[in-house]
Amino acid sequence: MTRDEMAAADRPTILVVDDDPHVLASLIDELSEQYGVTPAADGEAALEALERQHFDAVVSDVRMPGISGVEVIRRAFELDRDIVRILLTGYSDDAARVAAATPGGAYKLGKPWGEEFGIVLRRALEQRQAAIRSRDELMFERTVREQTEQAISRLSKMAAVGTLVAGVAHELRSPLACLTANLQALPQVAVQLDPLLERLQVGLESATPDGVDFIAALRARWREDAPAAAAQEIKQIGADCLDSTHRLQEIVDGLRTYSAPARRARYRAVELERCVARAVRLVASEYKRGVTFRTAVTPGLGGVIGHEGEIIQVLVNLMLNAVQAMGGRGTIDVRVRCTEKNVLLEVEDSGPGVPEDARARLFQPFFTTKPDALGNGLGLWLSREIAVRHGGDLRCVARPPPGALFVMELPISRDGDDDDGNGNGDG
Ligand SMILES: Nc1ncnc2c1ncn2[C@@H]1O[C@H](COP(=O)(O)OP(=O)(O)OP(=O)(O)O)[C@@H](O)[C@H]1O
Ligand SMILES: [Mg+2]
């Protein structure tokens, strides 16, 4: 592209509409030095041009055969809320006056036009540029903010997983050990059936036609070979193995749900009881030695629409704070109950409580009273963001020490509120 071509590409574009060829020619003449001008000889041609191309401004005569100038600028506004619209009319025209009277509406100038026409056009185009720029900046800011928050949220989640990983690994070990022991025992039990099977085979091969001897021999040894006990044992081993794999599955699913990136489009009905169970399991896997975890979930709670991983994240954050405040010893109560409009998820601990001077700053990002390695001051901020994103809130209940109580309120969804219209879950 040459310099001239680049300058031409940067120039504001203007659609000029008039059914009088002389007027049209003189408008083109006046504007084409500064602007990229597209002429249209009537309203219909103007509408076609609007559908085809994007303009910064439309300058139109009002009275034209067929489609009027008022109609042209109305369509232009539908297509672009920021487009500059100027009506030029030699008449005192009611429709044009109305079109010009609305705030942010069209300009209406008389014909023949004077130098104010050029000034109005330039100013309006500058305002349009400024409006577009500030909207772009706002959009950019919002996108950056959202992406940053997502990144922080993920990092903070991963940091919590880091804190919990030893416990989770330990938690995985017990069902794994159970699986190993059972699978080792299985062949030994199966071996017990071998003599019986062998005897059956020999007996069947040598049995007399009436089989009486064979059946009598079998009956005599039945108790000794104990096939029913062996079969029972094999069934039991199978059941124990299955139980272990379920436990493993549940832990792995919990971790997966917790770590899944949250997308608003994937909000769906959340099973709060399972959220609580998974969050407690994650934290208890690391801290159950010193801490007693108690849960109480009111049966028949109203549904909440959201992201299970995010709700688990809030509960994990609150419980980790509680564990840290209690120095790893004490009791944590996690309760879920309902008011008329909200579900309340409460995490209460038996620690020293939140100091009065910290209360006002608890939810600010980077506020922490912990040494570097223990806290970034992001847990509560992120948790509140999550609650707000779900249409609710998170607060710390003011009360005398000891103990702290945090409550997340989430709105109860009406049936079928599910955002996840396409049925996609995080799986
Ligand atoms: N249950 C609680 N009891 C007493 N103080 C608490 C409790 N929960 C939070 N706080 C106070 O609030 C501060 C902020 O908590 P927040 O979870 O936001 O950050 P953090 O735990 O310090 O760091 P991070 O969560 O990023 O690891 C904590 O440093 C602590 O002083
Ligand atoms: Mg924290």
Mean pLDDT computed over 68-92:
90
pLDDT tens for 311-365 read 998 999 999 999 999 999 999 999 999 999 999 999 999 999 999 899 999 999 8
The angle that helices 116-192 and 227-259 make with each other, rounded to 10 degrees, is: 160
What predicted TM-score, i.e. pTM, was given to this entire model?
0.62
Q: How far, in Å, from the CA of 377 to the mean position of ligand 2?
A: 6
Other beta carbons within 10 Å of 26: 14
Atom 1 in ligand 1: residue holding the nearest Cα: 322
Q: How far, in Å, from the CA of 322 to the mean position of ligand 1?
A: 8
- Ligand 1 contact, 160 CB (< 6 A): no
Q: How far, in Å, from the CA of 318 to the mean position of ligand 2?
A: 7
Question: Which ligand is closest in space to the CA of residue 403?
Answer: 1
- Ligand 1 contact, 413 CB (< 6 A): no
Atom 21 in ligand 1: residue holding the nearest Cα: 375
Question: Which residues lie below 8 Å from residue 231, measured CB to CB, with a gap of 6+?
Answer: 193
Torsion of CA 159, 160, 162, 163, to 10 degrees: 130
Contact present, 38 and 14 (Cβ < 8 Å): yes
- Which pLDDT score is estimated for 330? 97
Q: How far, in Å, from the CA of 324 to the mean position of ligand 1?
A: 8
- How far is the C-alpha of 286 from the C-alpha of 264, rounded, in Å? 30
- Ligand 1 contact, 378 CB (< 6 A): yes
- How far is the C-alpha of 46 from the C-alpha of 18, rounded, in Å? 9
- Ligand 1 contact, 59 CB (< 6 A): no
Residue 214: pLDDT band (50, 70, 90) is confident
- Which pLDDT score is estimated for 61? 94
Contact present, 413 and 304 (Cβ < 8 Å): yes
- Which pLDDT score is estimated for 344? 96
- Which pLDDT score is estimated for 152? 85
- Which pLDDT score is estimated for 87? 92
- How far is the C-alpha of 370 from the C-alpha of 323, rounded, in Å? 13
Contacts 24+ apart (CB under 8 A), 48-52: 49/15, 50/15, 50/75, 50/76, 50/79, 51/79
- How far is the C-alpha of 128 from the C-alpha of 136, rounded, in Å? 12
Fold of the CATH domain 264-411: Heat Shock Protein 90 (3.30.565)
* Domain 3-114 -> CATH class: alpha beta
Smallest Cα–Cα separation from 84: which of 119, 48, 110?
119
Q: How far, in Å, from the CA of 368 to the mean position of ligand 1?
A: 6
Residues with CB under 5 A from ligand 2 (ion): 321, 379
Region of poorest pLDDT, from 8-12, 61-65, 137-141, 262-266: 262-266
Contact present, 339 and 408 (Cβ < 8 Å): no
- Ligand 1 contact, 358 CB (< 6 A): yes
Region of poorest pLDDT, from 66-70, 135-139, 256-260, 284-288: 256-260
What single DSSP character describes residue 260?
Answer: S
Residue 95 CA: distances (Å) to CA of 12, 46, 69, 177, 416: 27, 18, 10, 84, 46
- How far is the C-alpha of 390 from the C-alpha of 185, rounded, in Å? 50
- Ligand 1 contact, 346 CB (< 6 A): no
Atom 13 in ligand 1: residue holding the nearest Cα: 368
H or E stretch covering 162: helix 116-192
Contact present, 286 and 166 (Cβ < 8 Å): yes
- How far is the C-alpha of 54 from the C-alpha of 52, rounded, in Å? 7
Mean pLDDT computed over 117-136:
92
- How far is the C-alpha of 82 from the C-alpha of 98, rounded, in Å? 18
Residue 276 has pLDDT above 90, yes or no: yes
- Which pLDDT score is estimated for 227? 80
State which of 83-97, 172-186, 209-223 shows the largest mean pLDDT: 172-186
User: What average pLDDT does the chain have?
Assistant: 87
H or E stretch covering 344: strand 342-349
Residue 420: pLDDT band (50, 70, 90) is very low
- Ligand 1 contact, 351 CB (< 6 A): yes
Atom 5 in ligand 1: residue holding the nearest Cα: 354
Q: How far, in Å, from the CA of 321 to the mean position of ligand 1?
A: 5
